Amino acid sequence: MAPSSRSELKKGLQDSRYRRRVAEALDSALQRALDGEKSTTLDIDPASARFMIFSDQHRGIRNGADDFRSCERAYNAALAYYFAAGHTLIELGDVEELWEERPAAILDKYKHSVELSVKFHQAGRYLRVYGNHDDAWSFDDEVTRCLRPVYGDDLKVYESIRLRVRNEGREIGCFWLTHGHQGTANSDRFSRLSRIPTRFLWRPLQRLFKVSLNSPATDWVLREKHNIALYSWAASQPSLVLVAGHTHRPVFRAKTLAAQIEEEIKKAAPHEIQRIAELSAELEWVRAQDQKESGPEGAVVAQESPSYFNTGCCCFVDGDITGVEIADGEIRLIRWPDDENRPKPQLLRGARLTIAEVFAELQ
């Protein structure tokens, strides 16, 4: 067997074992949800449901190690918008960076951002899930000590949330929301050990050099190993759609951004010279970014079913945030601010499906 073939076989076996480990952990978490442990279930009507799902803020204490600081403006604007528009806010884990900082210090430094989310809770429109970097909230005594004095005594923090979708009284499927770190070695099974290098090595380096690994997202297809593992598991679940965070990479069932732009160029009329020129420039811009990032992340894997979506994160280095909207009978991937850098939601190209379409495909 040639060396390259042996290397490919070894990688295939490693990926298979990884996917199996993630699948087993997700199976356990879903069973806990079905048993009513660390979870809550809501029945929703797709015509009237209004949810905004954000994850991975990683709020720190406004120093060089704080990944949220550049995104605070966009996040606060988004929360004000969705509160006024009547959405329920779901914060899907890793809201605070508790591997690096103490809860009290973070809550104090981001008092106004916290107050904006408290308004949702006071209005009965707030749900919260813990992730790996804020897994202190998996312990009720920690929630009582740190969060309930701010949010209220009735605050609950869950491992997952089930949104059962009903149409004319009949259940057509379920959105299952969880942070998505389940099954990873450093973030799930050995998370307590992982905190040591994060707090004492990575944090000082971040503060010194102001380094962030959260590069701006330019597409939202399956590339990265953990996203692929999450999708592989979700695709095997009948009438279930997984919505997660954790990877910091937004995912939506869509063609690559380059492929979508190519289609728009083909559909443009010959006389639309300015539009063709602008699309052609955008295509080359995106292609260059793809070439820059695709190597370490691996090849694109097509989603045959719309069974997995990822919110992305609220700590991109350019100050943008991404999230998943469930509203107006649709599920959508959005970014703040918009393309003109205004405090408005920007629907990402090709990233919208009706809820009816999603669950019809899963039948």
Tokens 């793809």 correspond to 290
How high is the pLDDT of residue 202?
A: 42
Q: Distance (Å, rounded) from C-alpha 310 to C-alpha 179?
A: 9
Q: Distance (Å, rounded) from C-alpha 118 to C-alpha 155?
A: 10
Query: Structural domain boundaries of the chain?
Result: 11-256+300-362, 263-296
- Yes or no: say if 261 and 184 are a contact pair by the CB < 8 Å rule: no
Indicate the pLDDT class of residue 206, thresholds 50, 70 and 90: very low
Does domain 11-256+300-362 fall under CATH 3.60.21? My reply is: yes
- Higher pLDDT: 363 or 140? It is 140
pLDDT digits (tens, 9 = 90+) for 138-158: 999 999 999 999 999 999 999
Count of residues in the chain: 363
Indicate the pLDDT class of residue 285, thresholds 50, 70 and 90: confident
pTM of the model: 0.83
Give every CB contact of residue 294 below 8 A, 6+ residues apart in sequence. Answer: 223, 300
Give every CB contact of residue 14 below 8 A, 6+ residues apart in sequence. Answer: none
* Helix%, strand%, coil% for the chain, nearest 5: 45, 20, 35
Indicate the pLDDT class of residue 176, thresholds 50, 70 and 90: very high
Helix (H) or strand (E) holding 336: strand 330-336
pLDDT digits (tens, 9 = 90+) for 20-68: 999 999 999 999 999 999 999 999 999 999 999 999 999 999 998 898 9
What SS3 class is residue 281? helix
Task: Return the DSSP state at 222.
Answer: B
Indicate the pLDDT class of residue 297, thresholds 50, 70 and 90: very low
Among 140, 65, 62, 59, smallest CA distance to 96 is for: 59
Q: Is the pLDDT of residue 114 over 70?
A: yes
How high is the pLDDT of residue 209?
A: 45
Least confident of 174-178, 205-209, 227-231, 232-236: 205-209
Q: What are the beta bridge partners of residue 264? A: none
- Yes or no: say if 182 and 29 are a contact pair by the CB < 8 Å rule: yes
